[in-house]
Amino acid sequence: MEKLIVIDGNSIANRAFYAMPPLTNSSGLHTNAVFGFTTMLLKLIEEEKPTHLLVAFDAGKVTFRHAEYEQYKGGRAKTPSELSEQFPLLRELLTACGISHFELNGYEADDIIGTLTRIADEQKKQVMVVSGDKDMLQLASDQVTIALTRKGVTEIEAYDPAQIQEKYGLSPEQIIDLKGLMGDTSDNIPGVPGVGEKTALKLLHQYGTVENVLASVGELKGKMKENMETHADSARMSKELATIFREVPLEQSWDDLKFEGISTGQALPFFRKMEFKSLIDRVAAMDPSGGAGSEVDMEPAAPLNLVVVEAGNVSELDAKLSEVEVFHVEVVGENPHQSDVIGVVFRTFDTSYYVPFELLKSEEAAALRSWIADGEVPKRGYDLHKIDLALHWKGVAFEGAAFDVSLSAYLLDPTDSNMSLDGLAAKYGLSSVKSDDEVYGKGAKFKVPALSMLSEHVGRKAMAIQEIMKKQQAELEDVEMHQLYYELELPLSKVLADMEKQGIAVNVGDLRDLGKEFEAIINTLVTNIYQLAGTEFNINSPKQLGEILFDKLGLPVMKKTKTGYSTDAEVLEKLEPYHDIVKQILHYRSIAKLQSTYVEGLLKEVRQETGKVHTYYRQTIAATGRLSSQFPNLQNIPIRLEEGRKIRKVFVPSEPGWSILAADYSQIELRVLAHISQDEKLIEAFVHNMDIHTKTAMDVFGVPAEAVDANMRRQAKAVNFGIVYGISDYGLSQNLNITRKDAAKFIEQYFAVFQGVRKYMDDIVKEARKNGYVTTLLERRRYLPEINASNFNLRSFAERTAMNTPIQGTAADIIKLAMVKMEERLQTEQLKSRMLLQVHDELVFEVPEDELEIMKELVPEVMAAALKLDVPLQADVSYGANWYEAK
């Protein structure tokens, strides 16, 4: 028995869009409507087993109904761009699944469906119509059932004429009359005012049709009679508009709609592009041709040539070393300073040689180790920076990073950079790499599998790296990030690894003493707080604290979070006048933070043997191109408040008599802004080396320098910050605690003076809209898929990001350049000084006594010369016995 399913494409796409949470694939493509549509489609195919399938779409904007009634579908909200951009994808999906789909000029999907069901009625063929639109019920017949979506998209309810009768007491044809009377706000069909579903049903049960109701209008009473009389024409027209046209000139024959099942060979590439992982298996199982694991899933079923090297056989690999293309080291653990190394793979053109780490460490593998240590031998792999560190702590030297697919993935798209290798492989259509979680298990279940499985996994990784690499090299050229990659990021990864291995010395004794001081303060504060609260509770729990402050003590609620009362510092500061406890809590919070994060946290990270901490700079995390720092984070050591700043005293040189020297860029982001915006006023301010916040205050307030007081300067400073962040009046008003109006006034005054900055802000947003991304001076790129979103919040966020990223990102480019150049100079000048830390605009060194004079000139000189801008770059240097003194 043949069975046709016709899907109302626009209706189901809309349902799917609103039923699914927002969903994007890693390249930022919105996919939720496609996903919802697909799940519905698969379910229908599985459950209904259609022999014929069609998805009908609406065509264009104007249909014959507009000729009858101009306002047809008027006043309807514009389709959000997140949805409209998914229609081409839907068509791609259908084509890939071998499902016929079309639209017809001047008609809506309804009319195509109406025509098909009429033909089915005549030829006695079975049809199921799937839609979210009740109007379709008018098409029901013995041959035709109408399936309407209920909740979401996958739940549908099928109606035949009997069920329609049961639910509405109407025949399918009368559905048209129903709409004639009640109208339809979503299509802007007027109907009769005052008549809703209840009244309309009552009238139709009595009179049968619109025409009969109108003919019998004399029997009606009151307001309803009046409405019916004055809007008789409207009722007739509404009925006509609601009538589905069933005589569309279709070119397609019944046989054209034949559905032969989904062929995975065609469909899976599309599913991969969409990143519909959960659906891939489902589709694979549905392939009628496939069955016995037709491996279309993998790119040419990629067999792995794997050699597990064993003791006694290493010389075989030695002979192949000159042919090695990819070097991979299997590292387990997040922190590469204390990770386990399981094994390594040397991959030639066609073979992965797996060497267990134990074997690599043995006498027999000396040649392998010298190969790894030889900087002249180029290494290509995944996350070589981490590998370098992990090997280092296991006593194996690594040199010669030449291509790193994780670093390259980061440059190609920094927002999905923490890409695991299996994710990256999937992205490039090589689904042969399992995830580490799958192979090892996660959390407490972690377990290294048997050698056969392990070597297969690791061997496949190396193979995937080889494939990915080829594609990335071409991509890097395409997007002109070749230079950024080879001349900056890759050399930098080595610089970072050296800094990290070096570490910075911590005076553990002093840190413990500081901890004792903090402990004493905390004890006093806790006692006070319990007494003022009249009870003991966990001050660290925002929930419990909120209950004390707002329920027990009755303080006014200033702000709520999604889980309850907000108790952050901003709220507490406003509450200070109401109760003495608040000040104590604020103080407690600040000291408790220092104690847990900076005293206890830091102590946990100090290496017993050396008394040093070794941070791990992550080069592939920040969307702007900045570094991040972990285990411990040394980029957020306190400085703003004196109590916390003392923490810096425990960071000391690792050798007696040496000093800590720190140099930081002065206003690097505003200087970058001056350069890229070419704003005359801003450039002038920096060329004359003026105090930029004071200068901003002078210009914004229109006063001479001597009239700028501390408060004016503070406000100007906030405006400058706001500018860099992609200013909004709301954000500035929050920061300065002023009204939004006043904030807007400041911004307007700023832009009136710094017109080049205004132009930059306008232009960069336009550029982002046009290209879909923004770039830094060194061509680092960040995609902003939400720049054209219809959602105000998402779009605004993307706009601010468009303004901020070129500034923050260029500043990051500059200090990275400075780091690479600085390391070169230390080498060429044969200095013993060492670069230890980077804190976004600051570099920290340890310097022997006899190099102090040189370094305090050299460091700022190299930093200032890192990149030539149209304004001078300036770095200020200072030094002392510890990081605190170097201020």
Partner DNA sequence: CCCTTCACG
Partner DNA sequence: ACGTACGTGAAGGGA
Q: Which of residues 544-583 bind DNA (CB under 7 A)?
A: 544, 561-564, 566-570, 572
Q: Is 361 helix (H, G, I), strand (E, B) or coil?
A: coil
Measured from the CB atom, the residue of 81 and 209 that comes closer to DNA is: 81
Measured from the CB atom, the residue of 125 and 589 that comes closer to DNA is: 589
Ramachandran area for residue 554 (φ above 0: left; ψ -120 to 50: alpha; else beta): left
Closest residue by Cα to residue 693 from 675, 673, 711, 720: 720
Measured from the CB atom, the residue of 413 and 841 that comes closer to DNA is: 841
Q: Which amino acid is at 460?
A: R
Measured from the CB atom, the residue of 290 and 632 that comes closer to DNA is: 632
- Based on the shown chain and the rule CB under 7 A, indicate whether residue 285 belongs to the binding site for DNA: no
Distance in angstroms (rounded) separating the CA atoms of residues 694 and 691: 5
Distance in angstroms (rounded) separating the CA atoms of residues 525 and 486: 54
Determine how β-strand 52-56 pairs with β-strand 100-102: parallel
Measured from the CB atom, the residue of 149 and 590 that comes closer to DNA is: 590
**What is the footprint of DNA within residues 314-373 (CB under 7 A)?**
none
Measured from the CB atom, the residue of 793 and 830 that comes closer to DNA is: 793
Residues forming beta bridges with residue 847, ordered by sequence position: 659
- Based on the shown chain and the rule CB under 7 A, indicate whether residue 731 belongs to the binding site for DNA: yes
Q: Are 394 and 357 in contact (CB under 8 A)?
A: yes
Measured from the CB atom, the residue of 570 and 709 that comes closer to DNA is: 570
CB of 638 to DNA, least distance (A): 4
Measured from the CB atom, the residue of 308 and 814 that comes closer to DNA is: 814
CB of 132 to DNA, least distance (A): 25
Options 446-454, 482-490, 716-724, 874-882: segment touching DNA (CB under 7 A): 716-724
**What is the footprint of DNA within residues 219-238 (CB under 7 A)?**
none
Using the rule CB under 7 A, which residue among 113, 235, 622, 866 binds DNA?
A: 622
Using the rule CB under 7 A, which residue among 75, 218, 300, 443 binds DNA?
A: 443
- Based on the shown chain and the rule CB under 7 A, indicate whether residue 455 belongs to the binding site for DNA: no
Measured from the CB atom, the residue of 163 and 597 that comes closer to DNA is: 597
Measured from the CB atom, the residue of 473 and 628 that comes closer to DNA is: 628
Using the rule CB under 7 A, which residue among 76, 167, 225, 543 binds DNA?
A: 543
Measured from the CB atom, the residue of 208 and 542 that comes closer to DNA is: 542
CB of 86 to DNA, least distance (A): 22
Distance in angstroms (rounded) separating the CA atoms of residues 86 and 88: 6
460 Cβ contact partners less than 8 Å away, ≥ 6 residues apart: 304, 352, 432, 433, 434
- Exposed (0-12), middle (13-18) or buried (19+): which is 735, by Cβ within 10 Å? middle
- Based on the shown chain and the rule CB under 7 A, indicate whether residue 289 belongs to the binding site for DNA: no
**What is the footprint of DNA within residues 629-688 (CB under 7 A)?**
629-633, 635-641, 644-645, 664
CB of 548 to DNA, least distance (A): 11
Distance in angstroms (rounded) separating the CA atoms of residues 574 and 549: 13
CB of 563 to DNA, least distance (A): 4
CB of 517 to DNA, least distance (A): 16
Measured from the CB atom, the residue of 151 and 562 that comes closer to DNA is: 562
How far separated are the first and last CA of the chain, in Å rounded? 85
**What is the footprint of DNA within residues 733-762 (CB under 7 A)?**
734-735
**What is the footprint of DNA within residues 822-881 (CB under 7 A)?**
839-842
Q: Which residue has the tokens 């972990």?
A: 630
CB of 258 to DNA, least distance (A): 44
Using the rule CB under 7 A, which residue among 347, 461, 713, 800 binds DNA?
A: 800
- Based on the shown chain and the rule CB under 7 A, indicate whether residue 725 belongs to the binding site for DNA: yes
- Based on the shown chain and the rule CB under 7 A, indicate whether residue 435 belongs to the binding site for DNA: no
CB of 705 to DNA, least distance (A): 23
**What is the footprint of DNA within residues 262-281 (CB under 7 A)?**
none
Name the E strands within 631-788. 651-652, 659-665, 773-775, 781-783
Measured from the CB atom, the residue of 209 and 633 that comes closer to DNA is: 633
Distance in angstroms (rounded) separating the CA atoms of residues 763 and 769: 10
Q: Are 514 and 646 in contact (CB under 8 A)?
A: yes
Closest residue by Cα to residue 362 from 389, 386, 381, 344: 344
Distance in angstroms (rounded) separating the CA atoms of residues 847 and 512: 26
Closest residue by Cα to residue 4 from 82, 100, 76, 77: 100
Measured from the CB atom, the residue of 771 and 791 that comes closer to DNA is: 791
**What is the footprint of DNA within residues 163-222 (CB under 7 A)?**
none
Q: How many CB atoms lie within 10 A of CB 151?
A: 9
154 Cβ contact partners less than 8 Å away, ≥ 6 residues apart: 36, 39, 40, 43
Using the rule CB under 7 A, which residue among 728, 749, 755, 874 binds DNA?
A: 728
The b-or-e profile of 613-643 (16+ CB within 10 A means b, else e) is bbbbbbbbebbbbbbebebbebbebbeeeee
CB of 146 to DNA, least distance (A): 36
**What is the footprint of DNA within residues 381-420 (CB under 7 A)?**
none
Could you tell me the two tokens for 367?
């040649």
Q: Which amino acid is at 117?
A: T
In what helix (H) or strand (E) does residue 9 lie, and over which residues does it extend? helix 9-19
Measured from the CB atom, the residue of 36 and 809 that comes closer to DNA is: 809
Determine how β-strand 144-149 pairs with β-strand 126-131: parallel
Options 425-433, 586-594, 700-708, 846-854: segment touching DNA (CB under 7 A): 586-594
Options 6-14, 218-226, 600-608, 671-679: segment touching DNA (CB under 7 A): 600-608
**What is the footprint of DNA within residues 764-793 (CB under 7 A)?**
792-793
Size of the site for DNA (CB under 7 A): 76
CB of 664 to DNA, least distance (A): 7
856 Cβ contact partners less than 8 Å away, ≥ 6 residues apart: 661, 877, 879
CB of 639 to DNA, least distance (A): 4
Measured from the CB atom, the residue of 87 and 797 that comes closer to DNA is: 797
Using the rule CB under 7 A, which residue among 497, 623, 761, 866 binds DNA?
A: 623
- Based on the shown chain and the rule CB under 7 A, indicate whether residue 729 belongs to the binding site for DNA: yes
Measured from the CB atom, the residue of 242 and 743 that comes closer to DNA is: 743
Options 69-77, 290-298, 526-534, 540-548: segment touching DNA (CB under 7 A): 540-548
- Based on the shown chain and the rule CB under 7 A, indicate whether residue 604 belongs to the binding site for DNA: yes
Measured from the CB atom, the residue of 500 and 851 that comes closer to DNA is: 500
CB of 606 to DNA, least distance (A): 12
CB of 427 to DNA, least distance (A): 19
Distance in angstroms (rounded) separating the CA atoms of residues 483 and 121: 67
CB of 293 to DNA, least distance (A): 31
Distance in angstroms (rounded) separating the CA atoms of residues 88 and 107: 19
**What is the footprint of DNA within residues 87-146 (CB under 7 A)?**
none
- Based on the shown chain and the rule CB under 7 A, indicate whether residue 17 belongs to the binding site for DNA: no
- Based on the shown chain and the rule CB under 7 A, indicate whether residue 618 belongs to the binding site for DNA: yes
- Based on the shown chain and the rule CB under 7 A, indicate whether residue 445 belongs to the binding site for DNA: no
Using the rule CB under 7 A, which residue among 349, 486, 578, 730 binds DNA?
A: 730
Distance in angstroms (rounded) separating the CA atoms of residues 498 and 820: 12
Q: How many CB atoms lie within 10 A of CB 207?
A: 18
DSSP string, 513-578: HHHHHHHHHHHHHHHHHHHHHTS---TT-HHHHHIIIIIIS-PPP--B-SSSB---HHHHHHHGGG
| CA dist 858 → 667, 818, 823, 875 (Å) | 20, 11, 11, 11
Q: Are 62 and 219 in contact (CB under 8 A)?
A: no
